[in-house]
Amino acid sequence: MYLGIDLGTSEVKAVVIGADGALLALAGSALNVSRPHPRWSEQAPADWWQAACDTVAKLRAQLGEERFRQVRAIGLSGQMHGAVLLDADDRVLRPAILWSDSRSAPECAELAQRAPRLHAIAGNLAMPGFTAPKLMWVARHEPQLFSRIASVLLPKDWLRLQMTGRKVSDPSDAAGTLWLDVEGRNWSDELLAASGMRRDQMPALVDGSAASGALLPAVARAWGLRDDVVVAGGAGDGAASAVGIGAVNPGDGFLSLGTSGVLFVVNDRFRPNPARAIHAFCHTLPQRWHQMSVMLSAASCLRWFCRLCSVDEKSLLAEIEQLDHEQLANAPLFLPYLSGERTPHNDPYASGVFHGLSPEHQRAALGYAVLEGVSFGMVDGLDALRAAGTDVSELSLVGGGARSPYWAQLLADALNVRIVTHVGGEAGGALGAARLAWLADGGQESEVCRKPLRHAVFEPDAARHAALQPRLARYREIYQPLPPLPGVE
């Protein structure tokens, strides 16, 4: 059997799959994000490790001690771009700065000046979510701490250090640092130097399907596993989800509705297009790349609204489904920029907005506006991908948002593409991580990376697509004239 661990922003999720690829167990443990100042997002790495250990214990309880010991390899998936700073004794120097943190906007402009070839080498704009600007912020605002940094690890790779004692990453996750030569799939000394970093502070790189080490004996004993269990290179969460959904060949694509929203399409070569805030990253599998549009708040917008209104998602979706055509047409519009935005605006100061509220609007209409606003954000992302020469007619839907048939149909109508959900699609990156473990144990890609069974297919409705166009146009108009709030820098 194979274990996949996905370190997300809101939870650590893990799965176990069998030698036939079937999902045998799934468990998770919640995480919290600290926001000590506006536009800051941090987590304590120790909380990740505790959540990982708790989640593994839940899986062991589901499967039983003897059966769980049949796990032969472990794969890792994780939230990208986060900065875990370690001293010479591998002690964590400060809370990890997360992908959703936008404090380093000034450093992005400085990095672009210091590294004129940034776009050509890294294939991406300098954005506050990426790792390099975070380190420049630390150098400027926490110089004494910066001088003690011996190594920098991405979130999943810090978990690997606890598991194996080794500092290793993979090209898909490393591509999100702005320190990688994405076409060459190796660290760039030029980009490292531009942000005040060195190659010796970086982890080694292996493909996500290769072995990166073995479990430390103490960890193996604590987790109830053999001490010869291999740990695969793993992947950033987007690339891991792609492996889990079988998006491994050029032209394959998927849409992920998690904390963030991702449109991911596999390429056979490096195809950067930073002008539209499109990400061009390495895939975790050898000699493949991908393009990706990213919105910073997706299913998290729905969770936020449900907390605000003291309603669970299932109940709110049931209310939304009762709205008639007139109520949908007159619903408010929602800009889903609760944490700023990447594609297509690259605007860390963008704000969430409800527009067009009236006394007649009830909770369901606002809830619909949230679903629609996130869907329109995905339309913007697809348009940016199309402008970069990439088009799709079908997308697999993964992540927590995949649980809602109503939202899946709305996405099909808004994007005007076929949306497909799959059995086990909610497992997302954890399933991909488990598949990478299988590959590291000698599995064949053609067998391991098959597309999961289809659960449902949502064909776009031409009439509904046409009806959404005026609302989409207004949604795009609203973003433009809104100035930053006073005091927001």
Burial of 67 (0-12, 13-18, 19+ CB in 10 A): middle
pLDDT above 90: residue 273: no
pLDDT above 90: residue 30: yes
pLDDT above 80: residue 481: no
Q: Is it true that domain 2-247 has CATH number 3.30.420.40? A: yes
Q: How far apart are CA 484 and CA 54, in angstroms?
A: 42
Q: Note the pLDDT of residue 402.
A: 78
pLDDT band at 260 (very low <50, low <70, confident <90, very high): confident
To the question of whether residue 80 is assigned a binding role by annotation, the answer is: yes
- Tens-digit pLDDT profile for residues 448-458: 999 888 999 99
What mean pLDDT comes out for the span 290-303? 91
From 6, 101, 173, 237, active-site residue: 237
Q: How far apart are CA 59 and CA 2, in angstroms?
A: 12
pLDDT band at 386 (very low <50, low <70, confident <90, very high): confident
**Residue 24, H or E segment:** strand 23-30
Q: Note the pLDDT of residue 348.
A: 82
pLDDT band at 462 (very low <50, low <70, confident <90, very high): very high
Helices 405-415/462-479 angle, 10° precision = 80
pLDDT band at 244 (very low <50, low <70, confident <90, very high): very high
Q: Note the pLDDT of residue 485.
A: 57
What mean pLDDT comes out for the span 161-181? 97
Task: Verify whether residue 237 is a known catalytic residue.
Answer: yes
What mean pLDDT comes out for the span 310-334? 96
Beta strands in 162-245 (DSSP E): 168-169, 180-181, 186-187, 204-205, 211-214, 230-232, 235-236
- Tens-digit pLDDT profile for residues 335-382: 999 988 888 888 888 899 999 999 999 999 999 999 999 999 999 999
For 319, phi then psi, to 5°, come to -65, -40
> pTM for the complete prediction?
0.84
pLDDT above 80: residue 487: no
What mean pLDDT comes out for the span 218-247? 95
Q: How far apart are CA 176 and CA 86, in angstroms?
A: 19
pLDDT above 70: residue 14: yes
To the question of whether residue 81 is assigned a binding role by annotation, the answer is: yes
For 147, phi then psi, to 5°, come to -65, -15
For 346, phi then psi, to 5°, come to 45, 55
Q: Note the pLDDT of residue 169.
A: 98
Q: Are 266 and 284 in contact (CB under 8 A)?
A: no
Helices 405-415/363-387 angle, 10° precision = 40
